[in-house]
Every structure is written in structure tokens, then in C-alpha cells.
Amino acid sequence: MRGTVGLAYRRAHDFRQEAERRVQMKIVPRALMHWGDAALERFNGMWALAFVDVERRRLLLSRDRFGTAIFMFGFLKFFDPFNTWFHIQIAKSGLPPFFIPLGMAGEMSIGLSFLLATVFRERIRSLFRPVVALAAAGLIVTMAVAIYVHLQPEVPASVLPLGIKPPLIPLFFMLLAGLNLFQLYRAKESARELTIRAG
């Protein structure tokens, strides 16, 4: 009987997730067609999407406010089982114990930097670029350490994010941080070209 209840619960849960996905697949394109890029400011939560506008021959790639996930990585390490897993990761990788508080504080401060820069972008226009650049550089360093930990044979997969031994997650976040730095550089170059043309 218990197995039947568990199976029914899983099926109901799967159905609910599938229903939510179908609703999102209808709402997101409609929001983008109605509000354009401004629709992204109305989204909440964590997302990643690609929207192809065939008429305008345009591809829109978007993700949630980058800092949410990074901040949560650091915050969750204060609680079990994440705290225990993180201690094992550091101990088994041979890194000194001070990497434990350093890693937690680093991830939270990087995440907060991304979040605050995004939320208060209009109020801190002059600080936006340096804050995001510093946070992205810090994230690349943090993910380099995470890659090192993943590659240590003594660190079991069971204490790593999602139980994945290859460093796919740190590499993904390192790539996103690199893209952020590239976008900042490209925006700066575009602004410089506009200034030269106007002058």
C-alpha cells in the first residue's frame, strides 16, 4: 500500500510539474511578444530561456538574476547536509580548513554583489560595471577552486552538487562569469565608439 501511495504521489507531482511547464511555455512567449525585452524585468525566480523572433530575425537569450544561485550556494552551506558535505569536500581535497568560511563568505558576497548591482542598476550606474566585473572575477576564482575540488580523487561524488563528479557545474558558472565580463567589455567598447562618433 505504501508503495502505491508513493507512486501516486510521484505521478501527481510529475503531472503538476508538467502542467507548470506547459503554462510557462505559453505565458513566456506571450509576455515577450506583448512587452518585448521589458518582460524580463517582470519575471521572478530562476530561469534560462531562448526566444526566437522569426519576424525580426532575432534570438533573445536570458537568464535569471545571476546572483540568486551563487548566493544560495553559500547560504545553504550553513545548514546540513550541505554544511557536512562542504566540510568533507575541503578536508578530502587537501585544502586548508580556512577555505570553509572563505568559500561560504565568498559565494554569498559574490551573489549579493550580482543581485544588488542588478536590482539597483539605475541608482548606481557609475558603480554597476566595476561591481559586476569584480563579482565575475571573484566567481571565476571561486569556480576554479571548485573545479580543483571536483578533480581530487579522494572527494566522493556523493558530497558534490547533484552527486556529479565531473566539474560540469563549476565550469558552467565559470563560463557565465566569463560571458558577463565579455559583455561588460563589449558594452564599454560600444559606448567608446558612440563617444568618438559624437565628438
Per DSSP, the residues of 131-166 read HHHHHHHHHHHHHHHHHHHHH-TTS-GGGSGGG--S
Residues 103 and 186 in one domain: yes
pLDDT of residue 4: 46
Residues 163 and 71 in one domain: yes
pLDDT of residue 8: 45
Using 70 as the pLDDT threshold, list the residues of the chain that sit under it: 1-25, 44-49, 61-67, 187-199
pLDDT of residue 144: 94
Residues 185 and 127 in one domain: yes
Residues 124 and 181 in one domain: yes
pLDDT of residue 63: 61
Residues 80 and 23 in one domain: no
Residues 49 and 119 in one domain: no
Instruction: Compute the distance between CA of residue 61 and CA of residue 37 in angstroms, rounded to an integer.
Output: 10
Residues 80 and 125 in one domain: yes
Residues 134 and 83 in one domain: yes
pLDDT of residue 173: 85
pLDDT of residue 73: 82
Give the domain range for residue 158: 67-198
The count of domains in the chain is 2
Q: Is the pTM of this model over 0.85?
A: no
Residues 12 and 93 in one domain: no
